[in-house]
Amino acid sequence: MKNTKYIFVTGGVLSSLGKGISSSSIATLLKHSGYQISILKIDPYINVDPGTMSPLEHGEVFVTFDGAETDLDIGHYERFLNKDFSKQNNFTTGQIYLSVIEKERKGKYLGKTIQIVPHIVDEIKNRIKSAGENSDFLVVELGGTVGDMEGMPYLEAMRQMKHELGNDLVISIHVTLIPLIKAAGELKTKPTQHSVQELRRIGISPQIILARCEKPLSKELKKKLALSCDVDDDSVIVAEDAESIYKCPMNFLKEGILTPIARRFKINQLNPKMDEWDMLVKKIISPKNSLNIAFVGKYLNLKESYKSLTEALTHAGANLDTRVNIKWIDSENITSSNINMFGDVDSILIPGGFGERGVNGKIEAIKYARENKIPFLGICLGMQLCIVEFARNVLGILDANSTEFDTKTKNPFIYLIEDFIDQQGKEQIRTHQSPMGGTMRLGEYECKIKPKTILWNAYNYKDTIKERHRHRYEANPKYKNDLQAKGLIISGESKSGLIEAVEIKEHPFFIGVQFHPEFTSRLQNPNPIILEFVKKTLEFQKK
């Protein structure tokens, strides 16, 4: 078993400083230095997972290949490291307490009084160590901010692991804000000093300070921070606002973050090979081409709700040397009378979503793309609405609908399957009476592709692919023949015959997919169907 080295990343002063990007960047540099890397996000909230939380409350729910609904930072980890992670790489306070209580009910603590120390903290430590098995390094990101009461058991677990494993196997990196007081034109270090004092009060002394700021720190300020926070002079790393999140690893490398990491862990100098990464980042920042995509959504008040998809468009653009400009369109504002709002875009994208709000506007957008032969990609609900739109406007079935929006519809082109045999052969009961968190088809499923289709070409002529799902409703196979007779091709199906993809042949590019391709897109390995969508958009634009 490997002697795993642990890097704990905490945040101070305020939230949303970019701990996830910082953790991903550090892990990326270590991976490109030739090491086996794993990464873990700890969320201090009491929800068991973010699956039932509103996107406007928490941002996107990211789905792993094994069906875990996780924090969106897991998406950053996969996109940066070009690696699949699992439910083991994210846990919450809710999961910790649930696990401890279940063990207590089964008598596994032999009648002991259950306390935060040692029982809760031991459960945390065990999960951290489990996530780090068979890796050279485990980067552990603790959500929230130092000083939050929810985070105290995790900080205690960090302190104990440092005590148990020693300085050669555990280091602490603190991400903190250096605010710019614009009226005075000064950067202030006092909030960082107080944040580090709070950490030290509970027994943790960070070895590296990641200073988030709007402009560079002077040598004098760096020395002041190093002295007041008791870190080495080369261990104050400036994390300036970057033109792209994917430039952060290069910026950290330039700042010399690997020097104190190597010294602390007593390993040889780290020399990451970042040539390909650097080339892609340059194409993000200064591309040769540009195009405009209409992004028709309904969670636009918090665009983090669509984080994986917007990043997937960036990946595709980087690999095609193209800037993808997103025109955000609220589907609630679309009507047949103002459909000309799509006149200045090169293609239309409709993402996944839940609920009836904004559905009619999305259907109008699909009709416009289909009739005007504009490149179109529909994802999850986007695919389901492709079918509803086609049924209403091509098949002439005006009351075609989804039971999600009309439980009594006589033509349920989209419906909730009562009994479904999943790919593992286990019966999965899914009804309208099931608990909200238990009615999903979640995680990776196989899709069999029809030859000589858009999907087949995009996935390099593969007969079978695996993509991730997160949805409750399915396209009703009962209508397959009617749809195909009028020109809507079923280009992808699951093992059990569920519709996974539909497309129109006599169209430059029109496809809807039931799965979420954005969950498997990475900077160095963009998802094939999203890459093909951007590629066809570029070709359409140049005609």
- Boundary residue ending a domain (279, 296, 313): 279
From 241, 260, 279, give the residue that closes a domain. Answer: 279
Rounded CA separation 5/137 (Å):
5
Work out the pLDDT band at 185, boundaries 50, 70, 90. confident
d(CA 246, CA 18): 12
Q: What is the pLDDT of residues 44-69, one digit of tens each?
A: 999 988 877 776 676 788 999 999 99
More confident residue, 235 or 180: 235
* Whole-structure pTM value: 0.92
Q: Are residues 296 and 191 in the same domain?
A: no
- Give DSSP secondary structure letters for 318-382: HHTTEEEEEEEEEGGG--TTSGGGGTT-SEEEE----SSTTHHHHHHHHHHHHHTT--EEEETHH
With contact defined as beta carbons under 8 Å apart, do 78 and 20 qualify? Answer: no
| Domain endpoint, select from 246, 279, 312 | 279
Is residue 119's pLDDT more than 90? yes
CATH number at residue 135: 3.40.50.300
- pLDDT tens digits, 125-139: 999 999 999 999 999
Distance CA 328, CA 160 (A): 47
Does a cis peptide bond (omega within 30 degrees of 0) precede residue 435? no
Burial of 286 (0-12, 13-18, 19+ CB in 10 A): exposed
Residue percentage of the chain with pLDDT more than 70: 94
Residues 26 and 151 in one domain: yes
Do residues 446 and 465 touch, judged by C-beta distance below 8 A? yes
Which runs of consecutive H residues, i.e. helices, occur in 15-92?
19-31, 55-58, 72-81
Nearest alpha-carbon partner for 302 in 49, 57, 16, 50: 57
Q: pLDDT value at position 456? A: 98
For residue 433, pLDDT beyond 50: no
Total domains in the chain come to: 2
Q: Can you tell me whether residue 109 is helix, strand or coil?
A: coil
* Segment 306-330, tens digit of pLDDT: 999 999 999 999 999 999 999 999 9
* Beta bridge pairs of residue 8: 140, 172
Question: How far apart are the C-alpha atoms of 318 and 55, rounded to whole Å?
Answer: 27
More confident residue, 381 or 428: 381
Q: Residue 257 contacts by C-beta under 8 Å, 6 or more apart in sequence?
A: 26, 29, 208, 210, 237
| CA–CA distance, 309 with 277 (Å, rounded to integer) | 20
pLDDT in tens, 353-362: 887 788 999 9
Share of the chain above pLDDT 90, in %: 80
Q: Could you count the other beta carbons within 10 Å of the beta carbon of residue 338?
A: 11
416 in the same domain as 465: yes
Same domain, 23 and 151: yes
Show the domain range for 479.
Answer: 287-542
Same domain, 188 and 292: no
Residues involved in catalysis: 380, 516, 518
* 221, 321: one domain: no
**Whether residues 366 and 312 fall in one domain:** yes
pLDDT at 441: 84
Please state, in angstroms and as integers, the Cα–Cα distance from residue 436 to each residue in 7, 71, 137, 430, 439, following that order.
36, 18, 37, 10, 6
Between strands 499-504 and 510-513, the pairing is antiparallel
Q: What is the DSSP letter of 522?
A: B
447-475: string of b/e by CB count within 10 Å (b at 16+)?
bebbeebbbbebbeeeeebebbbbbbbbb
Please check whether residues 145 and 170 belong to one and the same domain: yes
For residues 375 and 291, the answer to whether their CB atoms sit within 8 Å is no
Nearest residue to 178 via CA among 138, 262, 237: 237
Same domain, 240 and 357: no
pLDDT value, residue 418: 62
Query: Rounded distance, CA 460 to CA 339, Å?
Result: 35
Q: Do 229 and 254 meet the contact criterion of CB atoms below 8 Å apart?
A: no
Q: Which pLDDT band holds residue 303 (cuts at 50, 70, 90)?
A: confident
Q: Please, is 102 exposed, middle or buried when counting C-beta atoms within 10 Å of its C-beta (0-12, 13-18, 19+)?
A: exposed
CATH of the domain at 317: 3.40.50.880
Strand partners, 62: 70
